[in-house]
Structure 1
Amino acid sequence: MARQRIRDTAWGFAVVVAAVAVLSGCSGNEAPSSNASKAASAAESLASQASSAVASLASEASGTLASATAEAHRRLEEIKGGVDAKSDVKLGGSTGTDADGRKTVPITVTNSTSQSRTYAVQVDFRDAGGNLLDTVVVTVDNVAAGASKDATARSNRKLTGDVTTSVARAVRY
């Protein structure tokens, strides 16, 4: 969705540049059709450059997401003797945005066992269409038996627009 907006903006910019070039070229010595052709060529070049930039940004975002997903999977898989504890974890009502533009959501872990435990919680960040934007693993150490402890999940990168969060996995160990 963001890629489409960038692409549309780039095309709009290219059209404006082409129009300015045509209008400003009418007073020159060259024929208007020559100026229009040059402006169209310049607009096509700008659109091509913008499209390449969009593709590059999309590739970078995709690579960042793949890396974050792989890291989350690795961190949870290396926990030995852990048990599923998704029901012990609750996320705060809405996401916030920190000073760096990264989305945040409060986490509350309630230890339902009779011993102090540590939790690893995977939080997914999704756009309004349900597309995965980012994922993080938050470790909440030493949650006392029968007690609750708060933490904050923070996206790995800046996220814009409406972002929802969910607990993908939680492991107690």
Structure 2
Amino acid sequence: MSERIVTIVRSRPAVVVVAAAAALALASCGTDGDNGDAPSTTRPTAPDTASFSGTPPTALESKASAAVESARAAASAAASSASAAASSFEASVSAEVERANRAAETELEDVDGQGNAMSDVSMTGKPRSETGGLLAVVVTITNKTDRTASYAVQVDFLDGSGKAVETRFVGAEDLEPGERAQPLAISRKPAEPVLTPKLAKAQRY
């Protein structure tokens, strides 16, 4: 009797081992099968970097290069447009008043000092947005006498040290008493350094 009990007890570990092995086998089958419920633990295969091409970097570089060229072209076009606008503005003004300006310059050649009509003339700046970027001043000439008169005006453009680096002449002819004219004195110098216009001479004749 006792020998049988010992035999049964001793045989239980073997049964446990067999049962565990069977459970492990079932779990393995469930994992490897296509219809198993357990999630797959297979690690992804590393990508083959040798198959990568250089197309993306090349495309990006091309886009960057195109953007730079586009910006340069736009800047060049803007500069050309501004230059054309300035030239157009100056040409239109000069066409209207060139003869009077030449007459004014000739008249002031023999004038000593500031002339006899400084009180009849004043100046105001004109926005660069309206002159194509040029420095221009409106010279307001008012005939304050009781008879018809013509005027010659000299405008100097001064640098930071007060030196006249450019001189322009404007004029108005045959103004009736009380009549006013507003010619423009336009500097042809670059925007930098900044120049300051100054009324140098004004002669009534």
Query: What's the TM-score once normalised by structure 1's chain length?
Result: 0.48
Computing the radius of gyration from Cα coordinates, the structure with the larger value is 2
Question: Which structure's relative contact order is higher, taking Cα pairs within 8 Å and 6+ residues apart?
Answer: 1
Query: What's the TM-score once normalised by structure 2's chain length?
Result: 0.41
